[in-house]
Structure 1
């Protein structure tokens, strides 16, 4: 997703782990089986850190890039294991996202520890001609179109834009493609892999279609996607990540996997404010991460931003997914609903997500957790702490 508090007292590590274990145990007691609507937190035996794949339309230091930093820092502390970052087109075209992800891991000193895998460049069936039909049909909104806003075709290698600190020079993309990586990794770690799905779902849908036997082997999927009971941010009804590839989104959310959704319903209520921004941008011990945060996030996307407006706020969409993954108690309100995504190319509501309190007639839907409120103050403690830790990561 494209970008929009922690007090100076960081949450103590021991306190954080005890809380995570406690809520993890509660969830285990409640049961988190496939298709059951629950989701697992860190919980369990931390001697074996939870394993995740980050499936992302990556960027340098917007929400995807911020989540990459957070995940790497958590891995360094033994609190999770990032098996890989699989990149997909969305915020920007695939190769630009890959370039940004490679540099992200390299600047963090994690290039040899967290692999980057190149995924799908185009949606399964949602091209610009179809999008134009939808806009003409009444979908139009002053929304965000991601890669399509930059160009109607993917850039060549020569057209890629270097991150502010240059392209990666030592870290190379993995030889295995993202789809095959998802398949082989889930098979090698049955019932252990959580997928943080923070971009369009093209890679995941293709992996499931190619090897449907992986579906029951996925531990859980946590999405940043959808606008279940609120308007969309790309069209009147659709949220960007699921709008970019509605066919993939519909296919994946219908699979019998334990799933939790962090939709616009909650992300629009968890906003980065100037005081929180200042604690990162003006950190007591600056790093390349805090410098890039100030350089990229400070001006905002309208040329004003935090550096020019004390009342400016910004969404931090994707970062909420890693918070609820490591500690489900960050989510203070949620519902259990049967979720579907509209896949009607050319229709004004293509990509819309719809939650039902009971199983509707038609295709069988999955009951999942839809998060609607967050513990904002504690989340921003967590967020600031991870974005201001030493870099390169010790």
Structure 2
């Protein structure tokens, strides 16, 4: 497998921190930049969290940019459930050492477009927050963004209920207009939604192995994720662990064989009614032979979790050398 140049577009909460760790840990990835967005936390604080996670992983060389700070048609306001699930600081209320430098002054959307122009088919973009930055980049320079090899998003729910309303998944619900603009473009999108992420779970049996590495990175990541696992035990006791939402999207971007995909044209409901922010097949394009969205509907969760754990343990152990 050839090395993939990757950009992560994150709203750095707990599972985004795991997504960053996955990208750093996988030898098949060269993480060339991280964009922050709003969602789990404000975009500026998401950037600070990303910098601190990268510093924890000895990856200070990866630049961090701030993208759009608000959805297309309204102002962002953090909701209480985000603070409950991810902690007030977004990363399980765990204190991480400050990075040695600040985030970049260049706008994250401009960085994404420049990288797409420079690397084209060699670039993979993974978005684990709202789709605002991607939609803005498509609108600003569609032809360049069309050259990107792969855009994989964590978002949506096709065959299962949403997690913020009966039909809406959180990342799509943050900015349905931007998500709809992205899905209804002609760019190739991999949708890794709740259909598969709710089946891909982590427990304290796994984070205990991170602690056993006796590394700061292993200990801190275990602290961050154990907070998340405890919240899941309170809110979603039927699952038996915390969902690996964002890191699964990174894994699928690298190796799509982790999931089974349905090829569809997707739209997002943007009307403010009971179906607001629903991801659904686009009725107007049902008979279009050209589809642009690959929707993950099943996952080889055992194989993925084994790869996830191997990568994390190898990274933490190597940081101790």
TM-score, normalization by structure 2? 0.87
SS in 2 for 1:51: strand
- Correspondence list, 1:79-158, <5 A: 79-112=28-61, 114-127=62-75, 147-149=78-80
Shift of 1:57: 0.8
- The structure where helix makes up a greater share of residues is 2
Higher Cα radius of gyration: 1
Change (3 A) 1:108 1:276: closer
CA RMSD of aligned residues (A): 3.0
Preserved contact between residue 183 and residue 293 of structure 2 (Cα < 8 Å): no
SS in 1 for 2:224: helix
1:347 aligns with 2:273: yes
Size of the aligned set, in residue pairs, is: 312
Matching residue within 369, 373, 380 for 2:305? 380
Change (3 A) 1:127 1:392: same
Runs (5+) with no aligned partner, structure 2: 83-87
Shift of 1:253: 1.1
1:291 aligns with 2:219: yes
Preserved contact between residue 264 and residue 293 of structure 2 (Cα < 8 Å): yes
Shift of 1:294: 2.7
Change (3 A) 1:85 1:322: same
Q: Which residue of 2 aligns with 1:187?
A: 117
Matching residue within 206, 211, 214 for 1:276? 206
Shift of 1:222: 0.8
Change (3 A) 1:393 1:327: farther
Shift of 1:324: 1.6
TM-score, normalization by structure 1? 0.72
| Deviations 1:288-316 (CA, angstroms, capped at 9, x unpaired) | 2321233222244656859xx9x841111
SS in 2 for 1:101: helix
Preserved contact between residue 51 and residue 83 of structure 1 (Cα < 8 Å): yes
SS in 1 for 2:186: coil
Runs (5+) with no aligned partner, structure 1: 1-42, 129-145, 152-158
| Deviations 1:8-30 (CA, angstroms, capped at 9, x unpaired) | xxxxxxxxxxxxxxxxxxxxxxx
Shift of 1:276: 3.0
Alpha-carbon distance in 2 for matches of 1:215, 1:247? 18
Q: Which residue of 1 aligns with 2:184?
A: 254
Task: Select the structure with the greater relative contact order (CA < 8 A; seq sep ≥ 6).
Answer: 1
Q: Which residue of 2 aligns with 1:69?
A: 21
Shift of 1:358: 8.4
